[in-house]
Amino acid sequence: MKRKNYAYPYVFWMTIFVVLPLFLVLVYSLTFKNGLKAGITLSNFTRFFEPIYLNVLLRSINLALISTIICLLLGYPIAYIISRTNIKHRNTLILLFLIPMWMNFLLRTYAWMTLLEKNGLINKLLTSLGLSPLNIMYTNGAVVLGMVYNFLPFMVLPIYTVLIKIDKSLIEAANDLGANKFKTFLKVTLPLSLPGVISGITMVFMPSVTTFVISRLLGGGQFTLIGNLIEQQFINVGDWNFGSAISIVMMLIILISMSIMNRFDKDKEGVNLW
């Protein structure tokens, strides 16, 4: 049997589970069904550009950007510190970071609900200390917190992977040429870790911008994000055509942002990381 033949099961798999569903989504987005009438239309797309839906899109992108920036600001130092620690402790630290990820995503988000509730653990602690309780639950802040908590490892891991791969002798060379620790970081470590940063940003931004669980549980459903909108169209409203159109728009946005990110990553190292 030729080598080539081994590929057929995968081609079959991809066709059934990737190409066909995508094609169906595309078909739904370009058609309409109204009672007995059905046909081809672009109205699903034009409808999305009404202000009410555009606002949802903008809010989603806004929250996802904020979460991504916070993840980057938290994740880079964490990755840097772990990469600098003794090799014996390094794996333990990474493991500690990964263990929460082994638990169910929903469960972890529910856990935050009980922590943030009006009579939750955090507010109990605050009142027992004589401070006024906070109203975090069902705010943008809670949604961002949920995103940062859930997606932070996706920022830490790619940056960490790039950082430990940086040749130690490059750092020594920079020191040797007169650069102190700060300048060495700025001129050597940081630029060399950019592929990891780019892949971290992509990996945090994409799930953040499409999430609907976090915004529903921690946002209390009052902040509709693009993910919620799609979910509603399919589950509650039953307008599969409009839902599909939004999904297509979403996919385009992600594709465009990924290609922009990849342009920064000349060597394509970041893409190879995942």
The CB-of-58 to other proteins minimum distance in angstroms stands at: 35
187 binds other proteins (CB under 8 A): yes
Contact between 248 and 29 (Cβ < 8 Å)? yes
Q: 109 vs 48, 91, 114, CA distance in Å?
A: 29, 26, 9
The CB-of-172 to other proteins minimum distance in angstroms stands at: 5
Query: Of the two residues 188 and 225, which places its CB atom closer to other proteins in the complex?
Result: 188
172 binds other proteins (CB under 8 A): yes
188 binds other proteins (CB under 8 A): yes
Q: By CB under 8 A, what part of segment 21-60 binds other proteins? A: none
Site size with other proteins, rule: CB under 8 A: 17
**Window contacting other proteins (CB under 8 A); options: 66-74, 110-118, 174-182, 236-244:** 174-182
Rounded to the nearest angstrom, the gap between the alpha carbon of residue 110 and the centroid of all alpha carbons in its chain is 19
- The first and second tokens of residue 248, run together, are 């297509």
The CB-of-72 to other proteins minimum distance in angstroms stands at: 20
Query: Of the two residues 50 and 176, which places its CB atom closer to other proteins in the complex?
Result: 176
Q: Give the integer Cα–Cα distance in Å for 156 and 72.
A: 8
- Single out the residue of 54, 89, 165, 191 in contact with other proteins (rule: CB under 8 A): 191
Query: Of the two residues 128 and 169, which places its CB atom closer to other proteins in the complex?
Result: 169
176 binds other proteins (CB under 8 A): yes
Number of Cβ atoms within 10 Å of the Cβ of 242: 24
Query: Of the two residues 193 and 224, which places its CB atom closer to other proteins in the complex?
Result: 193
The CB-of-69 to other proteins minimum distance in angstroms stands at: 24
- Single out the residue of 24, 52, 54, 173 in contact with other proteins (rule: CB under 8 A): 173
Q: Give the integer Cα–Cα distance in Å for 53 and 140.
A: 18
**Window contacting other proteins (CB under 8 A); options: 21-29, 115-123, 145-153, 168-176:** 168-176
113 binds other proteins (CB under 8 A): no
170 binds other proteins (CB under 8 A): yes
Query: Of the two residues 81 and 172, which places its CB atom closer to other proteins in the complex?
Result: 172
Query: Of the two residues 13 and 172, which places its CB atom closer to other proteins in the complex?
Result: 172
Cα dihedral sign, 77-78-80-86: positive
Contact between 89 and 218 (Cβ < 8 Å)? no
- Single out the residue of 5, 180, 222, 259 in contact with other proteins (rule: CB under 8 A): 180
Residues of this chain that interact with other proteins (CB under 8 A) are 167, 169-170, 172-180, 183, 187-188, 191-192
